[in-house]
Amino acid sequence: MIQERFENITLAYQRSIGPYGQHNRHFMENFKQTLDREQLLDAQSVIFGIALDDPARVAAEKLRYDLGLVLRRGQSTSLETRTLEDGLYVVFEVPHTEADILSFWKDLPVLTQGLPADWRRPIIERYAAPMIARHLCEMCVPLIRPL
């Protein structure tokens, strides 16, 4: 686990509303096809998955999930864009398998025990092309203050 500051990140994004889980896999496939058509996807691409709602508090049919490509300087898109709130995160590397990602979410209370986590902001799933090539992804937990 490492600590990282996110600053000045602009995302080209799409939003899905509905249950989390298997649907998100199809949403990701469709999002990547859109990025391919716009010639935005390459070996340096970074995609964020952002679950905006807590499924314990929001009905499944109303859950919001954003997928966003981090736009690099000079990239333009017809997709909607948003700026990610600047902040400090602790980053966990996780094997990029459905079972390991589910395990991360299940073990989150233990993994973050003692950390100054900021539960008012969403956890970000980061899918960087170089990490995906190594069968890894990253889970970024927002922090209130440095470790």
Side chain identity at residue 25, one-letter code: R
Superfamily of segment(s) 2-143: Regulatory factor, effector binding domain (3.20.80.10)
- Per-residue pLDDT reduced to its tens digit, 90-108: 999 999 998 999 899 999 9
Q: Are strands 64-70 and 46-51 parallel, antiparallel or unpaired?
A: antiparallel
- Asked whether the predicted pLDDT for residue 89 surpasses 90, the reply is yes
- Per-residue pLDDT reduced to its tens digit, 48-63: 999 999 999 999 999 9
Q: What's 132's DSSP letter?
A: H
Q: Where are the domains of the chain?
A: 2-143
Write out the two tokens for 71.
């736009």
